[in-house]
Amino acid sequence: MTQDVRVDALEHLRRLCLALPEVTERLSHGEPTWFVRGKKTFVTSADHHHDDRSAFWCAAGPGVQETLVAQAPENYFRPPYVGHRGWLGVYLDVPVDWDVVADLVEDAYRVIAPKTLVARLDVRVADPADLPQSSAHGDL
């Protein structure tokens, strides 16, 4: 994976995460990481973490990690440290379906975010006209 492709993938992931309510970004363990209300991690970049692969890790609902890893191990994996809690690893150094990634990021947010923020997200999703042009499901 070239440096330009890696940067483009990170920028795409960044736009998806920051489009969600009250999400901030800061480095954690040397990697870009996205937090809900500055406290709860829901997505972290994992560029060359213990291997030569570019990926991200995200929270996932019950059974999602097992299903996706079994169905497409070339795209998904059980990440170290958080995999035992059901988090999902998503490779970014393979052809990426960004619509699927957008859904995974939104689902991760829904797993971690407080109910009040999920309710705000539901209002945004219910009325697509209210979404900004660069939304998670917009023209990325």
Pairing of strands 23-28, 40-47: unpaired
Angle, helices 98-112 vs 3-18, to 10°: value is: 50
Provide mean pLDDT across the span 103-130: 88
| 123-132 confidence digits (pLDDT tens) | 877 766 655 5
8-51 pLDDT, tens digit per residue, is 999 999 999 999 999 999 999 889 999 999 899 999 988 755 67
d(CA 124, CA 32): 26
Question: What's the CA gap between 52 and 8, in Å, rounded?
Answer: 17
Angular region, 67: left φ>0, alpha ψ -120 to 50, beta rest:
alpha
